[in-house]
A and B are shown apart, each in its own frame.
Chain A
Amino acid sequence: MRDRPPPTTTGPGLSRRAFLGRAAVLAASGLAAGACSYVGPGFSGTTHSSRTLTYWNLLGGGDGVRMQTMQAAYAKANPTVDLRPVTLTWGNPYYTKLSMATIGGQPPDVAIAHLTRLQALVPGGLLQTIEDADLDRHDMHPDDFVGTAWRQAHFDGKLYAIPIDTHPFVLYYNTDVAKKAGLLGDDGALAPIDDPDALVDALERAKRVTGGWGAAFSSTNDFATVWRLFYTLYSQLGGKVLEAGRVVLDDAKAEQVTTLMRRLTVDSQVAPAAMDYGGAVALFASGKAGFFLQGDWELPTFKDAKLPFDMRPFPTVFGQAATQADSHALVLPRLDRPDPERTDLALGFAKSLLDQSLTWAEGGHIPTWLPAQRSADYRRLKPQSNYVSVAEQVVYDPPAWYSGSGSSLEIEAGGAFGSVMGGRRSPAEGVARFRTGLDRLSSAPSPV
């Protein structure tokens, strides 16, 4: 038993005490250095230098790569600006961070937001309005934007976002399969499909050619795609879901839609009743399905797979031309103290992105910047320019705080109508289930 504490040094060399002391000094100096960087202002509550532009987005994958190209072009043209882009996960994680950063007084200067999410961000006072004078200074005019997107970017008559694209729900088709199935018209494009029977017939013919499925469609673990199909067809019937905060779901029209959805998977079995997103992409890319129903963003995937394919607006099977879509837009989070210099920098960045709309369009999205959309270069982009007509006739998600991309409304719809497509609920039951969910959401106290 020792009655002396053991020595802290074991001969020559670093003692424990000396090591801890030096480590503490290093840590302290690291903190001091950090005070000059991004972290420092966060702790001290000051804002960063006025030549720094922080930019948040939720664009990953192919979109992310394209956005980085556009960011690099902006940085090259504006060498005095320190652009700091941050990419966050799509969906809830992004909007949560955006709103909390704004409330906490440390928002990014400019951020991407879906136009359908404005209805949650604006009433909470999280966004700055964009004034006409500011737009003029940066050579952006209302007439230069697609009308539907421009109107959607307004709230109570004021502008809150600058739309950069619209991404609608489209119909992809394998040109080889369509040719063999006799579905191409004289011009080599898909012959028009005008009613539900024609749609099912076309898919059945494709199924016979592929030996697999007529159309690849994902409903497992994918509420968004199910919602997009439902809302496209329902809007084609002229149906509305919400009006002035009230549920105005038309049961008869909704049931017509769910009956057609069920017909595709259960009755005619031209689309799988159980397939997830990745599986559906794989089915179409490998030629086991002749058609693919999804948003336009998978274009690069199939181009890379060297698949012979084309894209068209989703066929108007129910009378009125309508397609579900959402738009990416640039928003200016509210600052505690208005800073015209930062706003100016942000708008300059927005204009730069709009000028590079053609680069962005290569990802499949329709540019909402009309000078780019109407240009000859864009018209030459195939198959993007094949569905550009859809841009003015898109319908955005119903107006409510619980609606928008990735919202509770879409989740409810995906659950209710997904079970119809899976054969577990009848079309009428699916509509009733959706109505129950809608009633609960609309009667909950609004958090905005």
Chain B
Amino acid sequence: MATTQQASGVAIPRVATHRPRVSPLRRDLPGIALAMPFLVLYVLFLIVPILYGALMSLFDTSLVRPGLSSFVGLANYRELFNTPGFWSSLWHTVLFTLLSTPPLVILALALALFASRVARGRWFFRLAYFAPYVLPVSTVVLIWNWMYQPETGLVDTYLGKLGIGPVGWLSDPKVAMVSIVILTVWWTLGFNFILYLAGIQEIPRQLYEAAALDGAGPWAQMRRITIPLLGRTTTLVAVLQVIASLKVFDQIYLLTEGGPDFSTQPAVQFIYESGFTSYRVGYASAASMVLFVVILSVSLIWFGLVRRQEKGV
């Protein structure tokens, strides 16, 4: 280690700079090579289709005709914006997101707090709350379809014993979306629950001990320590939840097929019906581009919020 004499007389150590004997490219080559398989698949199966989809949205491409067919410019988009069905399907997606995100975030937090405070049998509660998440969507829909059955279903039978009249869970347009939200919360709560559990376990125990010494009861500890320190986890959970909800399709398509009478049809199903049932892939691509922009905007807003949050912390 060489030292230099500064004018002020204080010696400032200077670390000997080690000139690399290989160029940065040579050094990075193994890393790039290892990432190549993923990158190739990513570009081929994600980037290229997105670009091709954007291109298709300017043509009246059809599923039963080869090639791109004829150029129509923005006609697909114009037709899309004049189609009430598209706007209502976008609204159904937004409604689903609005209805499902709060329970999925708040309930998951509440259950994680509960599960972390349980002294005995913690494993059982973790299993119970996470187990539905591992079920595939068709199994979940099968179960809930039979539970929501009119006349013979489990839900209506027990509600009937309580004196609550038969509810058209899957046949009443006003109720159908709520039925789907209940199914979704039961099914996907586990994932957020696990994220919160992990976040809770990261909080140092000393904070609780110090708070207890200061006379804070368990409720105050939760309010003042746990929940604020879970802020980052909450942001993560909320962002993931919102973006996933905006892409909802599976459970709605299987449970109600977008019905009754299109009252639950989400945007993705509108795209599916236009593209595959009606063969109009160009038009469907236009709709998916619009949905892509919507989801991207939501993500960017959240990204900005998170950045601000990080700066504030």
Complex contact B260–A419 (CB within 8 A): yes
Complex contact B170–A221 (CB within 8 A): yes
- Give the interface segment out of A73-81, A310-318, A440-448: A440-448
Interface residues of A in 353-410 (CB under 8 A from B): 401-402, 406-408
Contacts of B151 in A (CB 8 A): 272, 275, 279
Complex contact A272–B279 (CB within 8 A): no
Complex contact B261–A424 (CB within 8 A): yes
Known contacts A220-B170, A276-B149, A447 near B257 by CB under 8 Å: no
Complex contact A424–B145 (CB within 8 A): no
Contacts of A272 in B (CB 8 A): 150-151
Contacts of B66 in A (CB 8 A): 103
A92, A401, A444, A445: the one within 8 Å of B276 (CB): A92
Q: How far is the CA of A93 from the CA of B281 in the complex (A)?
A: 14
- Give the interface segment out of A118-126, A137-145, A342-350: A118-126
Interface residues of B in 152-190 (CB under 8 A from A): 152, 168, 170-173
- Give the interface segment out of B40-48, B57-65, B220-228, B293-301: B57-65
| Residue A330 CB within 8 A of the other chain | no
| Residue A100 CB within 8 A of the other chain | yes
A125, A219, A444: the one within 8 Å of B280 (CB): A444
Known contacts A279-B151, A282-B152, A408 near B63 by CB under 8 Å: no
| Residue A111 CB within 8 A of the other chain | no
Q: Mark A429-448, 1 if CB is under 8 A from B, else 0.
A: 00000000000110011011
Complex contact A406–B277 (CB within 8 A): yes
Contacts of B173 in A (CB 8 A): 419, 424
| Residue A239 CB within 8 A of the other chain | no
Complex contact A121–B277 (CB within 8 A): no
Complex contact B63–A447 (CB within 8 A): yes
Complex contact A124–B150 (CB within 8 A): no
Q: How far is the CA of A121 from the CA of B152 in the complex (A)?
A: 42
A103, A126, A274: the one within 8 Å of B171 (CB): A274
Taking the closest CB of chain A, its distance from the CB of B130, in whole angstroms, is 29
Taking the closest CB of chain B, its distance from the CB of A266, in whole angstroms, is 13
Q: How far is the CA of A96 from the CA of B63 in the complex (A)?
A: 7
Q: Which residue of A lies closest to B278 (CB)?
A: A408
Q: How far is the CA of A272 from the CA of B152 in the complex (A)?
A: 12
| Residue B201 CB within 8 A of the other chain | no
Contacts of A223 in B (CB 8 A): 257, 259
Interface residues of B in 104-149 (CB under 8 A from A): 145, 149
Known contacts A274-B171, A408-B277, A447 near B260 by CB under 8 Å: no
Complex contact A124–B259 (CB within 8 A): no
| Residue B255 CB within 8 A of the other chain | yes
Q: How far is the CA of A407 from the CA of B150 in the complex (A)?
A: 27
Complex contact A279–B261 (CB within 8 A): no
| Residue B256 CB within 8 A of the other chain | yes
Interface residues of B in 57-92 (CB under 8 A from A): 60, 62-66, 72, 79, 83, 85
Q: Which residue of B lies closest to A100 (CB)?
A: B63
B65, B172, B273, B281: the one within 8 Å of A411 (CB): B273
Q: Which residue of B lies closest to A414 (CB)?
A: B259
Q: How far is the CA of A126 from the CA of B279 in the complex (A)?
A: 13
| Residue B262 CB within 8 A of the other chain | yes
Q: How far is the CA of A441 from the CA of B278 in the complex (A)?
A: 9
| Residue A99 CB within 8 A of the other chain | yes
**How many B residues face the partner with a CB closer than 8 A?**
36
Complex contact B262–A279 (CB within 8 A): no
Q: How far is the CA of A99 from the CA of B277 in the complex (A)?
A: 12
Complex contact B255–A415 (CB within 8 A): no
Complex contact A120–B170 (CB within 8 A): no
B63, B83, B259: the one within 8 Å of A221 (CB): B259
Contacts of B85 in A (CB 8 A): 440
Complex contact A279–B65 (CB within 8 A): no
Contacts of A99 in B (CB 8 A): 63-64, 279
Interface residues of A in 257-287 (CB under 8 A from B): 272-276, 278-279, 282
Q: Which residue of B lies closest to A213 (CB)?
A: B151
Q: Which residue of B lies closest to A419 (CB)?
A: B261
Complex contact A418–B278 (CB within 8 A): no
Contacts of B64 in A (CB 8 A): 99, 103, 120-121, 123-124, 126, 447-448
Contacts of A282 in B (CB 8 A): 152
Complex contact B279–A120 (CB within 8 A): yes
Complex contact A274–B168 (CB within 8 A): yes
| Residue A422 CB within 8 A of the other chain | yes
A126, A407, A414: the one within 8 Å of B277 (CB): A407
Q: Which residue of A lies closest to B63 (CB)?
A: A99
Complex contact B83–A440 (CB within 8 A): yes
B72, B171, B259: the one within 8 Å of A273 (CB): B171
Interface residues of B in 259-310 (CB under 8 A from A): 259-262, 272-273, 276-281, 283
Contacts of B172 in A (CB 8 A): 274, 422
| Residue A233 CB within 8 A of the other chain | no
| Residue A162 CB within 8 A of the other chain | no
Complex contact B279–A448 (CB within 8 A): yes
Complex contact A444–B278 (CB within 8 A): yes
Complex contact B171–A220 (CB within 8 A): yes
A120, A219, A279, A411: the one within 8 Å of B149 (CB): A279
Taking the closest CB of chain A, its distance from the CB of B50, in whole angstroms, is 19
| Residue A206 CB within 8 A of the other chain | no
Contacts of A447 in B (CB 8 A): 60, 62-65, 278-281
Among A220, A407, A419, A424, residue most surrounded by chain B Cβ atoms (within 10 Å): A220
Contacts of A121 in B (CB 8 A): 64
Taking the closest CB of chain B, its distance from the CB of A444, in whole angstroms, is 7
Contacts of A126 in B (CB 8 A): 64
Q: How far is the CA of A276 from the CA of B256 in the complex (A)?
A: 10
Q: Which residue of A lies closest to B62 (CB)?
A: A447
Q: Which residue of A lies closest to B171 (CB)?
A: A274
Q: How far is the CA of A444 from the CA of B152 in the complex (A)?
A: 42
Q: Mark A75-95, 1 if CB is under 8 A from B, else 0.
A: 000000000000000001100
Contacts of B152 in A (CB 8 A): 279, 282
Q: Which residue of A lies closest to B272 (CB)?
A: A92
A-B contact pairs, 10 of them (CB 8 A): A126-B64, A221-B170, A221-B255, A279-B150, A407-B277, A418-B260, A422-B171, A445-B72, A447-B63, A447-B278
- Report, nearest first, the 4 A-B pairs whose CB atoms are least far apart: A124-B64, A447-B62, A274-B171, A415-B261
Contacts from A to B (Cβ < 8 Å)? 92-93, 96, 99-100, 103, 120-121, 123-126, 219-221, 223, 272-276, 278-279, 282, 401-402, 406-408, 411, 414-416, 418-419, 422, 424, 440-441, 444-445, 447-448
Contacts from B to A (Cβ < 8 Å)? 60, 62-66, 72, 79, 83, 85, 145, 149-152, 168, 170-173, 255-257, 259-262, 272-273, 276-281, 283
Q: A274-B172, A406-B277, A424-B173 are in contact. List 14 more A-B contacts (CB 8 A).
A: A121-B64, A126-B64, A272-B150, A276-B145, A282-B152, A411-B273, A419-B261, A424-B261, A440-B83, A447-B62, A447-B64, A447-B279, A448-B62, A448-B279
